[in-house]
Structure 1
Amino acid sequence: MSCETRAPNLLFIMTDQQRFDALSCHNGVARTPNLDALAAQGADLRKHYSQAPVCVPSRCTIFSGRYPHSTNVLENFVRYPSGEDHLFSILKEAGYHLSYFGKNHLLEDDEFRANLNVFETFSEHSDDSQRKAYQELEERSLQRLESIGSYASSEYHDFPDMATTSGLIATSVATAIRVAPHDRPWSITASFYDPHVPHLAPKRFEKEYPPKDIQIPINPNENLKDKAPRVALKQEAQGALRASLQEKRLYSSVYYSMCSYVDELIGDIIEELGKREDAENTIIVFLSDHGDFNWDHGLCKKDLLLYESLLHVPCIISWPGKIPPQVVDKTFTEHADIVPTLLELASIPRPPTIQGKSMVPLLEQQTASHRKSTHAEVCYPDMRNPFSTYPEFIDALNDAKKNGDPLGQSTSFNIPGDYTKSIRTEDWTYIWYGNGYEELYDANNDPKEERNLASEPTEETRLLCQKLRLELFDWFLHTAPVARKSVPSKTRNSSNSWIHP
């Protein structure tokens, strides 16, 4: 079968914790020439949103086309239920040769192996001296998160690419592209760990992002009284209040450097793809699972909060000759839409479990409208943070560690989460917390979400919150679970419901 008549190949590239403005084509600080070029040749979806602010729920939505409350994956300690439809099982059924390299945080390993021809996470300890030394650097970096603060893992290094996890992923993906079959369609996934912690970047990038020149967002403390109490609590848990300006700048400097490093490796991957005769019959998808605060709201990393910094992410879909180059910035798209879009592009029937909406009419410029709103959620219905102060949490954590309780698996910066849902429209962001708190932000005039209008008891804001709350719950009720398996009891009970690895 010629590559012209065969089903399209799929090159799926995903980063971890890369916010929307961490691309230079999105007017960001990070320089990403290869992703900029990919965006210029494909569809640059500039109003693309994640359905969760942490890895596993987000990835389960990306690869299933189902919302977190439908997959029953609403926190990081769960994996997608085995035996239920996901992109890889569907492509396997369609005859694809499947390879996956990098971070999992999606399926149980056995489920991956049952559906993929090649699966490698690069998480094992290595005997190679340089790789081993780099892994030891990663471990020391992560230890600083616990002992110093959530911002403190940032560091530059002189290790060669093949010692780094990102370098190994990129090299393996390039090799997989070279040896991919020519007589059947293939799917190769590059799941980079960067720019997630540990925050480590090659030293050659330091000169591109001198820490002394990095601008840090100003977050007036007086705004905290209007926000959910979790924000102030999380600032204390992260150690963000004691982080110096120099330490904050180093965090951002290394973060941008990691984005540029991954971009460099993505360039190598795309160059390798270009050597194949079926390159133009290959769909390329680039996206990130969720974003990073990068000091918005006075926070770094991520958290169980549904703010713009964590939910607005880059997404690029390229298929030369089939998807016209375009900037899509007038309508929302979201992670749940990825699988139905790819299946339609590949002419593969979609399972009835899929809840997302195909973007093909949008990508083919048959319409300029796709979604008027987008939704997100995190944590299970029974989850409430029982701690009103940070010392109270630390005391409980220390007691749990002494007694061998599951809470002892938590860390000093992972405050228990609250059942939370949100809706983002053209004009408003509304966030509902299971503990009764609400937040409302003017998306056009307050993009940094600094003024919580829900805390201002006017009739206008009360009616607006009521309207958005009804829209939010209407979405929730109309996307009830279509396939579900209960979470194993060993990972869910009242004593460890706040574990967030």
Structure 2
Amino acid sequence: MSYCKYKFVFVLLALSYLFVGCSEKNVEQKPNILVLLTDDQRYGTIEELHQEEVVTPNLDRLVKGGVSFSNAYIFGAPHGAVCSPSRAMLMTGKYYFNLTPNVYAQFSVPGNERGKCDTITFPEYFKANGYETFATGKQHNGSDWVERGFDKGKALYLGGMTKHFGTKVRDFDQTNGWSEFYADQEKFSSEVFADAAIDFIDQDHQDKPFMMYVAFTAPHDPRTAPEEFHEMYPIKDIEVPANFMPGHPFKIGDMKIRDEKLASFPRTKEGVQKHISDYHAMITATDVQIGRILDELKKSGKADNTIIVFSGDNGLALGQHGLIGKQNVYEHSIKVPLVFCGPGIPENVKTEAFAYLHDVFPTLCDLSQLEIPETVETLSLEPVLKGDKDKVREVMHFGYNAWVGDIKHKKKGQDNGRGALRAVRKGDFKLILSSKDGVLTQQLFNLKNDPWELKNLADEDSYSDKVEDLKVELQKRIDETGDPAQLNKDMFGLYEEYDATHELK
């Protein structure tokens, strides 16, 4: 965005003023950037999207003030802590299988190797291009990316999940390094992070554009918002989703992972109502804090030149398909809100264009007129935001599998915890392939007619050509992205190499 600055130069000459002239100078001013990321917030949990009964006046104003994507997704994950690979992909614009496990599966490498990864992140890239960079909140990929990418950070949480009162955090800056740990026992986590963001907004940025990354730990469990927000959602008034089931209809990987054990087996409507009530309370409590940040940005006079991105790092089932967690490729677990607002971006536009969360990196580059680094593997959404195109891709694919290195003895009557999922979407149709212990299950859904993914069309003769077409598209995407899945093998061959080189202890 440019502006004109007029200079009038007066020169005193021989006891009289001589008007020398005025000149117009175009000064290119880079936009500021504010990235707001929530933890486990699925698509539809914004009131303005008219899907769930949740109060979100501040997220509503982002939707009304920009472009929102109704088909935005994460790719998936290779283990149950979906947040970590999701954030690693967001940071780099790369698929997790083309990154080192040091940043997306830190539990799998020795402590001194955790977070080691040379791939450039978007904070690091914007910092190198003259931006003052700042972070607060959840950093789930290690300290190295914080140190490389941010000039400073306040109230940083290094980890996956934590309590929401007394959240243990640290500060960082390039001069002094890391502070000691500290915690505020009285404040809700989202308020702690909002306080840090507001403090940064109010600082003198010395005419440099800034890039803020505000990553909340809510609405991830434990879902303990301030009590007044829980009171807004009486459990008895909560509507159970249309695809509620007492249990998943067939075995998939990670059916007994920690997330799934948060509710009793079989699932009950009352139990699911409680989970959704607490989930909505966490979202509304965080919405209030997002409003504080937006208000302070406007008050500072910087809002008009700030690109704002809002999204969630993954979704959550909460009773849908008999599941509670996010370790699957159903819509409730991979579909996320994604909103862009700011200079040059139209207001109150909803687009059906396909998008990945990790499209954010190249999109911000285009919106800031920076070249997209060669390491980025995904696509910029700028043509959609500017109205030049109605989409940037025709096909998307997704994946989830239980962690490859998690070898367990198979006890009598118990599941071994392994399994792999791949999915592909083209137009309104989505094909899910689930492979577990020699059994391949196919599910085909028409998402336009069946958004709850309840009617499986895969076994109907009239859809056999559609299934085969989508398998071909899935294989193309696997080949193009470097996805290691081999669809002709049990559990897509993802465990073979590990099993061949590691003994079961």
User: Which bracket does the TM-score occupy, shorter chain normalised?
Assistant: 0.7 to 0.9
Q: Could you say what the CA RMSD is over the residues aligned between the two structures, in angstroms?
A: 3.5
Superposed CA deviations along residues 113-138 of structure 1, whole A, max 9, x for unmatched, are: 1321113455499xxxxx9993399x
Counterpart position of 2:85: 57
The one-letter code sitting in structure 1 at the alignment partner of 2:90 is I
Superposed CA deviations along residues 219-266 of structure 1, whole A, max 9, x for unmatched, are: 5759944x4545866797454325554332221111001101111000
CA distance in 2: counterparts of 1:463 and 1:388, whole angstroms: 38
The change in CA–CA distance for 1:266 and 1:495 in structure 2 (over 3 A counts) is farther
Q: How does 1:414-493 map to 2 (within 5 A)?
A: 416-435=417-436, 436-454=440-458, 456=459, 458-480=460-482
Greater Cα offset, 12-21 or 45-54? 45-54
Q: Which has the higher contact order (CA 8 A, sep 6+)?
A: 1
- Structure with the larger helix share: 1
The change in CA–CA distance for 1:297 and 1:344 in structure 2 (over 3 A counts) is same
Partner SS, residue 470 of structure 1: helix
Contact 1:384/1:434, CA 8 A, preserved across alignment: no
- Structure with the larger strand share: 2
CA distance in 1: counterparts of 2:256 and 2:231, whole angstroms: 35
Counterpart position of 1:135: 166
With structure 1 as the length reference, what TM-score do the two structures score? 0.77
Contact 2:143/2:158, CA 8 A, preserved across alignment: no
Counterpart position of 1:163: 187
Is there any run of 5+ residues in structure 1 with no aligned partner, and where?
A: 126-130, 138-159, 394-414, 482-491
CA distance in 1: counterparts of 2:96 and 2:348, whole angstroms: 30
Q: CA deviation at 1:202?
A: 1.0
- Match status 1:6 vs 2:25: no
Greater Cα offset, 86-95 or 13-22? 86-95
The change in CA–CA distance for 1:385 and 1:186 in structure 2 (over 3 A counts) is same
Q: CA deviation at 1:272?
A: 0.7
- Match status 1:117 vs 2:147: no
Partner SS, residue 290 of structure 1: coil
Residue 41 (structure 1) aligned to one of 46, 65, 73: 65
Counterpart position of 2:16: none
The change in CA–CA distance for 1:245 and 1:343 in structure 2 (over 3 A counts) is same
- Match status 1:368 vs 2:390: yes
Contact 1:381/1:434, CA 8 A, preserved across alignment: no
Counterpart position of 2:272: 248
The one-letter code sitting in structure 1 at the alignment partner of 2:397 is H
CA distance in 1: counterparts of 2:164 and 2:357, whole angstroms: 36
The change in CA–CA distance for 1:114 and 1:333 in structure 2 (over 3 A counts) is closer
CA distance in 2: counterparts of 1:447 and 1:254, whole angstroms: 24
CA distance in 2: counterparts of 1:240 and 1:425, whole angstroms: 36
Counterpart position of 1:150: none
The change in CA–CA distance for 1:133 and 1:416 in structure 2 (over 3 A counts) is closer
Contact 1:375/1:423, CA 8 A, preserved across alignment: yes
CA distance in 2: counterparts of 1:369 and 1:132, whole angstroms: 40
Q: How does 1:349-364 map to 2 (within 5 A)?
A: 349-364=371-386
Q: CA deviation at 1:86?
A: 1.3
Partner SS, residue 75 of structure 2: coil
Q: How does 1:270-419 map to 2 (within 5 A)?
A: 270-303=294-327, 305-320=328-343, 322-379=344-401, 382=404, 392=414, 416-419=417-420
Superposed CA deviations along residues 387-410 of structure 1, whole A, max 9, x for unmatched, are: 7789635xxxxxxxxxxxxxxxxx
Partner SS, residue 341 of structure 1: helix
Superposed CA deviations along residues 448-483 of structure 1, whole A, max 9, x for unmatched, are: 1223333x2x444443222212211211211238xx
The one-letter code sitting in structure 1 at the alignment partner of 2:321 is H
CA distance in 2: counterparts of 1:288 and 1:366, whole angstroms: 26
Is there any run of 5+ residues in structure 2 with no aligned partner, and where?
A: 4-26, 109-113, 169-183, 484-496
Superposed CA deviations along residues 103-161 of structure 1, whole A, max 9, x for unmatched, are: 1113x203311321113455499xxxxx9993399xxxxxxxxxxxxxxxxxxxxxx99
- Greater Cα radius of gyration, structure 1 or 2: 2
What is the percent sequence identity of the aligned residues? 26
